[in-house]
Amino acid sequence: MADSDAFHIAVGIPLPTDVGDEDFFSRPSTPDSGERVTLKCGEKVFTFSKSKLVKDSDYFRACLNSSNFVEGRTSVIEFDDIEPKVLKAYLRIVDMTTTGNPFDEFIAMTKWCREHAQDFVTVIEVYRLADRLLNEPVRVELAESILTYMQHEAVTTVNKSSPEGIKWLFNTYKNAYDNLDPNRPDEANLQSQIAEVCCQQIDIDKTYALARTNTEGEAFLEAVLMATTQRMATLLQQTRSLGIKMERLEAENQMIIENGYMGDYNDLMEYFSYHYRDRMHDGDFISIGDDGDGDEEDDENDDEDESDEDDESDEDDEDNEDDEDRDYGEDGVRRDH
């Protein structure tokens, strides 16, 4: 099986069944009547849609849209320093992103290293090619998928309690780091992020021991130590900030106690919780009882007492009227008892 076929099968990107490896990119994945470009890479020749190449790549846009360049006049571009499998993977990504399947399929590439940490280097090379061809959307998406893999999938792949698992994880991080160019800002930034992931996932003493056994591990070790120092500084700053907040709360609590507002902070919280829960709405008090004391039964009893008094008063008035009627005779003359 050809290397490119093995690569795509390993990363979970199937080749079309009706197209052989030799002419996989000599035909479009979808009908395309637009102008096509020939890309020569070593002994491989790929024919690809011009509109797809120039869509997000400033490099291809400059080469192919200007007659000042021979590539623009001939629609032929030669690459002498790019591996065919890397260019092929890049073209596959471009094809997916321009046909409505952005990275859902290609992200599987970041999950394929299971035995050899060195295999992940191919993913880094595709990232570097996207950076070189000035394809910002692809570069950003690949960077995110690389970091996601290193933070999650790579960690769950191995047994971190075993020396072999830690060594595999270390080599995956180190190989990715070493194959990035520190002189290119975007790649240098990704290097820093990889070193930060390493210091989070592997104890620094184990990282140091593994790096010391590798003659080419000095740069990576230095980056991890720097990331560890920065992480410790951040944690220390957060701890100090929490300490200041705690001191402020303790001072406020002491002030409350000294002024006799409440016996202690817990009583204060209990007081507010009891009296004001469910009583605030948009900043205004909502009364629970008629008199605001929360005792509805007392309010109802008060109303009943008042009603009873009114009824008794009315009955007394009626009795008095009856007595007065009985004091007068039919002739209207009052009778004295």
Q: What is the pLDDT of residue 177?
A: 92
Q: pLDDT of 179-191, one tens digit each?
A: 999 999 999 999 9
Q: pLDDT of 266-313, one tens digit each?
A: 665 676 666 666 555 544 444 444 444 545 455 555 555 555 555 555
Chain centre distance of CA 3:
36
Q: What is the pLDDT of residue 316?
A: 55
Q: Which of the pair, 75 or 214, is modelled with greater confidence?
A: 75
CB neighbourhood size of 187 (10 A)? 20
Mean residue pLDDT of the chain comes to 72
Q: pLDDT of 61-111, one tens digit each?
A: 999 998 888 888 899 999 999 999 899 989 988 888 776 655 555 555 544
Q: Which of the pair, 312 or 16, is modelled with greater confidence?
A: 312
Q: What is the pLDDT of residue 226?
A: 86
Q: Residue 36: beta bridge partners?
A: 49
Q: What is the pLDDT of residue 18?
A: 32
Q: What is the pLDDT of residue 272?
A: 64
Say whether pLDDT at 12 is over 60: no
Q: Which of the pair, 34 or 138, is modelled with greater confidence?
A: 138
Q: Which long-range contacts (CB under 8 A, 24 or more apart) does 53-59 make?
A: 53/94, 55/94, 55/98, 56/94, 56/97, 56/135, 56/136, 56/137, 56/138, 57/94, 57/133, 57/134, 57/135, 58/134, 58/135, 59/132, 59/133, 59/134, 59/135
In the chain, the amino acid numbered 229 is T
Q: What is the pLDDT of residue 305?
A: 56
Residue 196 CB contacts under 8 Å (≥ 6 apart), including other chains: 227, 230, 231
Q: pLDDT of 109-165, one tens digit each?
A: 544 445 555 567 888 999 999 999 999 999 998 898 889 888 887 888 788 888 888
Q: Which of the pair, 333 or 232, is modelled with greater confidence?
A: 232
With cut-offs at 50, 70 and 90, classify the pLDDT of residue 17.
Answer: very low
Cβ 63 vs Cβ 72: under 8 Å:
yes
Tokens for 113, please give them. 């290293």
Say whether pLDDT at 14 is over 50: no
CA pair distance 175, 299, nearest whole angstrom: 78
Q: Which of the pair, 34 or 127, is modelled with greater confidence?
A: 127
Q: Which of the pair, 295 or 202, is modelled with greater confidence?
A: 202
Say whether pLDDT at 24 is over 70: no
